[in-house]
Amino acid sequence: MNISSADVVSWVGAYFWPFVRLSSLFMVMPIFGSSFVPIRVRVLIAIGITLMVVPLLPPIPLIDPISIQGALVALNQVIIGVATGVALQILISIFLVGGQFIAIQMGLGFSTMIDPINGEQSATLGLFFAFMVTLLFLSMDAHLLVLNIIVESFKTLPVSGDSLSLTDYWSLVEWGGKVFSGGTLVALPTVIALFLINISMGVMARVTPQLNIFSVGFPIYIFVGLFCIGFTLSTVLFQFQTYLFETLTIVKQITKVS
The per-residue pLDDT string of the chain (258 residues; one tens digit each, 9 = 90 and over) reads 555 555 556 666 678 888 888 989 988 888 887 777 788 888 888 889 988 888 888 887 777 777 788 788 888 888 888 999 999 999 988 998 888 888 888 877 666 666 656 666 677 788 888 888 988 898 888 888 998 898 888 888 888 766 778 888 888 888 888 888 888 888 888 888 888 888 887 777 777 776 666 667 777 888 888 888 888 888 888 889 999 999 999 998 888 887
106 near 221, Cβ under 8 Å?
yes
pLDDT score for 243: 92
Beta bridge partners of 113: 122
Contacting residues for 50 by C-beta, under 8 A, at least 6 apart: 15, 18, 19, 22
Total count of domains within the chain? 1
pLDDT score for 245: 92
pLDDT score for 203: 78
CB count, 10 Å around CB of 81? 23
Q: How far apart are CA 28 and CA 10, in angstroms?
A: 28
Contacting residues for 117 by C-beta, under 8 A, at least 6 apart: 30, 31, 34, 35, 36, 92, 130, 134
Three-state secondary structure of 78-146: HHHHHHHHHHHHHHHHHHHHHHHHHHHHHCCCCCEEEECCCCEEEEHHHHHHHHHHHHHHHHCCHHHHH
Q: Which domain holds residue 95?
A: 5-255
Contacting residues for 253 by C-beta, under 8 A, at least 6 apart: 168, 171
Q: How far apart are CA 26 and CA 85, in angstroms?
A: 7
pLDDT score for 9: 60
Helix then strand then coil, in percent of the chain rounded to 5, is: 75, 5, 20
From residue 136, how far is each of 27, 131, 152 by CA, in Å?
A: 21, 9, 24
pTM for the full predicted model:
0.84
Identify the CA nearest to 126 among candidates 167, 152, 94, 156.
Answer: 94
